[in-house]
Amino acid sequence: MKLSNSSITKIADALKPAVVEQYERDVDQLPQTHAELGGGAARSGSGLVYENLIERTCNSLGLDARRNDYKKTEEVNGYCLKNLQVDKHIYHGNVMKKAVESKAYLDACYLKRAVMDFIELEQSPEVPDDVEYAIFAGQNACGADAFAYYPAFFKKITGKEVKIFFVNPSRKRSSSRPIYNEKYRNDFKLDMVVYNEFVEWLKK
């Protein structure tokens, strides 16, 4: 039986506290990961914190957040690639509706790569025309020019907006205040205003 939008909203509202609490527990675990396994493992773990938050949020909404959901590129001079993807391709039923790139922090290189991947997805014959695109990140590590340029470039090429959600209260990243240092734990609480904006975007 297909659930109504109001039923999905009620279920999501009921599950949201558990999803948020799991995010906070995942962040709480990172200092121990750093102490026991080192900086590389902690950085890898911090990326998974945000990817897992996206996936759990989608699950609570009855959406399917797929990884390794490879698409073909547009054919150029008889050639195409078959490994096109971003972190999460989000499906409602069996129809792709959203594409989301996830980062603990978003720097200019990550932003450029995400935008270029989104453009290729938009041009793929295997991606529906009405798919929407977003970047979901904890903090912003971009310079002002890059942050303005790449979303504008995406819109120029595709005619679409790319949404960017920074879900931690300390928006600007500082390399001296990492997520795996307990002293700066409050920098990485979940900003519920922005998180709820992301949830509403997913539900559209």
In this prediction, residue 6 carries a pLDDT of: 57
Domain of 78 in residue numbering reads as: 5-203
Per-residue pLDDT of the chain (204 residues; tens, 9 = 90+): 454 555 545 545 666 789 999 999 999 999 999 999 999 999 999 999 999 999 999 999 999 999 999 999 999 999 999 999 999 999 999 999 999 999 999 999 999 999 999 999 999 999 999 999 999 999 999 999 999 999 999 999 999 999 999 999 998 999 999 999 999 999 999 999 999 999 999 998
Is 5 buried (19+), middle (13-18) or exposed (0-12) by CB count in 10 A?
Answer: exposed
C-alpha–C-alpha distance, residues 75 and 143, integer Å: 34
C-alpha–C-alpha distance, residues 185 and 62, integer Å: 31
Q: Is 136 helix (H, G, I), strand (E, B) or coil?
A: strand
Q: How many domains does the chain have?
A: 1
Q: Is 104 helix (H, G, I), strand (E, B) or coil?
A: strand
In this prediction, residue 10 carries a pLDDT of: 55
User: Is residue 82 within 8 Å of 117, Cβ to Cβ?
Assistant: no
**DSSP secondary structure letter of residue 62:** T
In this prediction, residue 1 carries a pLDDT of: 44
Residues 6+ apart with CB under 8 A from 37: none
Look up residue 36 and give its amino acid.
E
Residues 6+ apart with CB under 8 A from 61: 8, 11, 12, 199, 202, 203
In this prediction, residue 8 carries a pLDDT of: 47
In this prediction, residue 16 carries a pLDDT of: 79
Helix (H) or strand (E) holding 97: strand 95-106
Q: What share of the chain is helix, strand, coil (3-state, %, to 5)?
A: 50, 20, 30
In this prediction, residue 5 carries a pLDDT of: 56
C-alpha–C-alpha distance, residues 158 and 11, integer Å: 34
